């Protein structure tokens, strides 16, 4: 299997009481089962089951190990790792009905997806979190492109900080992606650790049947990440 790669799954593609869901439930560890039960709403419990099931089935296939026997731990930063195969780097993301998993065998990876479901005050959010040049990009005409620019910036930033294992609390404005769409590269705050690492990015917008879009971004230092092809984006557990 060629890595890096992405797996996408809609939560309504597997019904809660279906044979597929029941089979996934047998893969969960005792700790994962407790976490699943801690969610109050059935929809959240189902989505947790699907995300952990997808993680176990995909990593089991890549590693050649039974999915139920995989053991996970966390780094001091909180970033999860596969105990017996630390060279396999992975990242999960959820938005709306969608679940996404990214896997690399070269370097830490981060993925973020966004399925817009309600209007947002893009400029207010950007002025609070983004770099000034990114805010200027959002305000530049044609304004009908503002939602696309916003979600591209947001998902790429989220993916970047997930790959670093720090989370967005490190400061979304410390990475400037305003020039990315012009091929001018990415700039970083001078105080940001690892700013000189060979960071790679991937962004795509997938049209959905309901006329909305699924925005997806990946970040990491895997040299093949920027050249991810459609063949590397899988549906379901295959």
Region 39-59: what's the mean pLDDT?
Answer: 97
- Domain layout of the chain by residue ranges: 5-235
The three-point CA angle 143-168-11 to 5° equals: 80
Instruction: Indicate whether 230 pLDDT > 90.
Output: no
pLDDT of residue 171: 85
Instruction: Indicate whether 192 pLDDT > 90.
Output: no
**Angstrom distance (rounded) from CA 220 to CA 175:** 14
For 53, phi and psi rounded to 5 degrees? -65, -45
Q: Residue 52: CB partners within 8 Å, gap ≥ 6?
A: 24, 27, 28, 32, 36
- Per the CB < 8 A criterion, the answer to whether 91 and 102 are in contact is yes
Q: Which residue has the higher pLDDT, 137 or 117?
A: 137
* CATH no. for 5-235: 3.90.470.20
Give the closest residue to 201 by CA, choosing from 184, 190, 191. 184
pLDDT of residue 211: 62
Tell me the three state secondary structure of residue 153: helix
User: Token pair of 230, please?
Assistant: 């459609």
**Angstrom distance (rounded) from CA 143 to CA 150:** 11
Supply the pTM of this predicted model.
0.94
pLDDT tens, 62-98?
999 999 999 999 988 788 999 999 999 999 999 999 9
Region 45-54: what's the mean pLDDT?
Answer: 97
- Per the CB < 8 A criterion, the answer to whether 234 and 222 are in contact is no
Instruction: Measure Cα distances from 21 to 45, 169, 237 in Å.
Output: 11, 35, 13
- Per the CB < 8 A criterion, the answer to whether 56 and 65 are in contact is no
Number of C-beta neighbours around residue 38 at 10 A: 10
């Amino acid at each position: 299997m060629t890595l890096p790669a992405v797996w996408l799954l809609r939560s309504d593609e597997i019904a809660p009481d279906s044979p597929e869901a029941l089979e996934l439930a047998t893969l969960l560890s005792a700790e994962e089962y407790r976490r699943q039960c801690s969610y109050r709403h059935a929809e959240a419990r189902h989505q947790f089951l699907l995300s952990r099931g997808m993680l176990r089935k995909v990593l089991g296939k890549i590693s050649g190990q039974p999915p139920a026997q995989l053991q996970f731990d966390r780094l001091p930063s909180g970033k999860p790792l596969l105990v017996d195969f630390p060279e396999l780097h992975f990242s999960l993301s959820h938005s709306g009905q969608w679940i996404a998993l990214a896997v690399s065998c070269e370097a830490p990876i981060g993925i973020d997806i966004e399925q817009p479901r309600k209007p947002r005050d893009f400029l207010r959010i950007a002025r609070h979190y983004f770099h000034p040049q990114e805010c200027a990009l959002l305000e530049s005409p044609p304004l009908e492109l503002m939602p696309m620019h916003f979600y591209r910036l947001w998902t790429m930033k989220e993916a970047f900080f997930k790959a670093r294992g720090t989370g967005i609390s490190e400061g979304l404005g410390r990475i400037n992606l305003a020039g990315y769409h012009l091929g001018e590269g990415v700039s970083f705050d001078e105080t940001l650790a690892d700013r000189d690492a060979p960071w790679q990015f991937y962004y795509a917008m997938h049209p959905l049947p309901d006329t909305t879009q699924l925005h997806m971004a990946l970040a990491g230092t895997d040299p093949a990440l920027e050249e991810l092809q459609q063949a590397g984006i899988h549906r379901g557990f295959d």
